Amino acid sequence: MQAFRASLLRFADDGAALFDTDGLLVIGPDASGRKVVRAAGRIGADDQQA
């Protein structure tokens, strides 16, 4: 897995745009070995979205 600290523009489950100025993006393999986003959210947030 790889983790990147960056600003993120992502979308909540209801479709609302969320902009995190200090975010974390985690990328790792899926069952077939393809790289996919495993987690994304604001650093320090207890409610990070997968």
Q: What is the pLDDT of residues 11-47, one digit of tens each?
A: 989 999 999 899 999 999 999 999 999 998 888 756 5
pLDDT for the residue 47: 55
The domain tally of the chain equals: 1
pLDDT for the residue 45: 58
pLDDT for the residue 46: 60
Q: Hey, what amino acid is at 1?
A: M
Q: Stretch 4-15: mean pLDDT, rounded?
A: 93
pLDDT for the residue 49: 55
Domain of 20, in residue numbers: 2-42
